[in-house]
Amino acid sequence: MLRLDRVAIVAICSYSSIMTSVGIRELKDNLSQYVRRIEAGERIAVTAHGRVVAELRPPGKGTRARPRRRYDDLVEAGVVRLPVESGDPLAGWPTVRLPAGSAAQLIAEDRGED
């Protein structure tokens, strides 16, 4: 019975839900974008007529310069997507400085409940 439960779990978890999947035409039309995502550590399943026919991923462990971390596993599984562009994503945002005090006090003042 336990073995059947494991099979059921595997059957429920689809291949494409773990990683990004893309059709051959979409991959061909946007190859550079997908190559950057793969370079960032993401795995991508390639489909033809709704069926997975290939898996694109970064080169094997032998080419890694640093030890493998849990974060790497999440990226490889497609749970976490790394940025494709370099730089600080918050670079153009204004800096918000709050006055000193507790959050409750600041909210009360904002509402005029002093």
Q: How many domains does the chain have?
A: 1
Question: Is there a contact between 15 and 44 (Cβ–Cβ < 8 Å)?
Answer: no
Of how many residues is the chain composed?
Answer: 114
pLDDT of 18: 62
Picking from 45, 56, 60, the residue whose alpha carbon sits closest to that of residue 14 is 45
3-state secondary structure of 34: helix
Give CA–CA dist 67/69, Å, rounded.
6
Whether residue 98 is contained in a domain is answered as no
Tens digit of each residue's pLDDT, the chain (114 residues): 444 444 444 444 444 446 789 999 999 999 999 999 998 888 899 999 989 999 998 887 555 566 778 888 888 888 888 777 788 888 888 887 777 778 888 888 889 886
Cα separation, 58 vs 64, in Å, equals 10
How far is Cα 42 from Cα 34, in angstroms, rounded to an integer?
9
Instruction: Please state, in angstroms and rounded to a whole number, the distance separating the CA atoms of residues 63 and 79.
Output: 22
- Reading the block at residue 62, the tokens are 């032998």
User: What range defines the domain where residue 49 resides?
Assistant: 2-86
Q: Which helix (H) or strand (E) holds 76?
A: helix 70-77
> Which CATH number does the domain housing residue 22 bear?
3.40.1620.10
Query: Is residue 22 a part of any domain in this protein?
Result: yes
What pTM was estimated for this model as a whole?
0.43
In a domain, 103, yes or no: no
